[in-house]
Amino acid sequence: MHFGIDGNEANIKNRVGVGQFALEVLKHLEKIDQKNSYTVYLSSPPLPDLPKPRPAWKYRVFGPTKFWTQWRLPLDLFLGQGRPDLFLSLTHYSPRFSPIPTVCSIMDLQYIHFPGSLAKKDAWQLSSWTAYSLKKATHVITISHFTKKEIVDHYRLSPSKITVAHLAAPTPPKNLSLSPKFLQKYHLSSPYFLYLGTLKPNKNISFLISAYHQFLKNQETKQKSKQKTKTKLPTLVIAGKKGWLYQDIFQAVQKLGLTKNVIFTGYIPDEDRWPLYQGALAFCIPSLYEGFGIPALEAMAVNCPVIAASSSSLPEVVGKAALLIDPKNQKSLTQALTKIFTDQAQDQTLRKTLIKAGQIQAKKFSWGKTAKTILSSLEQTAQKR
């Protein structure tokens, strides 16, 4: 069989979210499948870390880039030679008017539940294009059973038309260490709690800052009442690039007087994520909404305890290997931070338990499994045509 793939989401620098998903799917499909042939369609030449071309794995590059998915890609699918048997879109944006049966990939339906978390234009585009892609799709790939249920409930698709292909964490490098040089690079000091991800409303970062502020107040009160040598209190490290509507996050830090306690690192390159996780007291992912939640698995993979929201897909991802909190109840997050901090200062029983459970949980997911699930779905869908 001959499969076509829109690979543009993988062909960008500083990949997060869907870009990371697209890259890993391409790399692992090329690795595991020696039977079928592929054409990866791009609007610009492939970056060096994409799979190398071979007779059964080719790149087709053409422009212009403007409205590429709306008219330029469909035009090539109509007129180009070597038409694929099935076309895979690794995003919500399937080609308009495609002459080829298409499988689309849906990450989540955040735009429905939190339309205010996106610019109006982006929310409208994502909503309208997702609806179009699902209507025209021969089959659908999604990344969690939570999102599958959402698609079934909202768009009235048959569950049999949707395949769940869980995401995974990349394999961390060996011999990690949190060196003084690394800490200096980002102006950090131990101990610290960590958030890592894009700064945007659904991530619930202002909620995390407020809960952390209450944690500090509680600990400072305890230390004063005991009149003992003060234990160094952890900072809160917020790592990740600015997304949209992020101003409230910085305003919360200013308003609560936490400029010396909360550290913003900006975008973290891939190689620096791992020591950042490894050095944290705990990784916090208090999101109101997640289609999956890869950072939770990344943290578990390098022995970092996880505090996660009990909402959306996160319980599906972390299982019983994390402290679950109510993402709308500040007290629950403050209590979780306190448990981790108190345990770290004492016998570390809780951290050891979470670390061991996290190692087991993280190993349940792999990009190889993701690619095998997608490949099986593509082959079965093509055979039915």
In 121-261, the DSSP E strands lie at: 139-142, 162-164, 192-196, 235-239
Return mean pLDDT, the chain. 93
CA distances (Å), 70 to each of 24, 67, 73, in order? 25, 5, 7
Residues contacting 234, CB < 8 A, separation 6+: 191, 192, 193, 281, 341
**Domains located in the chain, CATH noted:** 2-168+366-384 (3.40.50.2000), 180-362 (3.40.50.2000)
80 pLDDT above the threshold of 90? no
Top pLDDT among 97 and 158 is at 158
Residues present in the chain in total: 385
Segment 225-230 shows an average pLDDT of 70
pTM over 0.85: yes
Q: Would the pLDDT of 227 be above 70?
A: no
CA dist., res. 334 & res. 58, Å (int):
52
Give the pLDDT confidence score for residue 120 in this predicted structure. 79
Residue type, 225: S
Q: How far is CA 260 from CA 187, 230, 233, 237, in A?
A: 11, 18, 12, 11
pLDDT one-digit tens code per residue, 57-70: 999 999 998 899 99
Which tens digit of pLDDT belongs to each residue from 291-312?
Answer: 999 999 999 999 999 999 999 9
Highest mean pLDDT among 88-102, 119-133, 218-232: 88-102
User: Does pLDDT of 368 surpass 80?
Assistant: yes
Q: What angle do CA 348, 350, 353 make, to 5 degrees?
A: 110
Residue 153: φ, ψ to 5°: -70, -40
- pLDDT at residue 168 tops 70: yes
Contact predicate 254/361, CB 8 Å? no
> Over 80: is that where the pLDDT of 117 sits?
no
Q: How would residue 228 be classed by pLDDT, with cut points 50, 70 and 90?
A: low
In tens, the pLDDT along 12-35 reads 987 878 999 999 999 999 999 999
Q: Give exposure, 353-364, as e/b (b: 16+ Cβ within 10 Å).
A: ebbebbeebbee
pLDDT, greater one: 227 or 96:
96
* Tens of pLDDT, residues 139-165: 999 999 999 999 999 999 999 999 999
Residues 6+ apart with CB under 8 A from 61: 42, 43, 44, 45, 46
Residue 89: its H or E element = strand 86-89
What pLDDT does 188 receive?
Answer: 93
With a cut of 70, say whether residue 221 has pLDDT above it.
yes
d(CA 115, CA 334): 28
Query: What confidence tier does 285 reach under pLDDT thresholds 50, 70, 90?
Result: very high
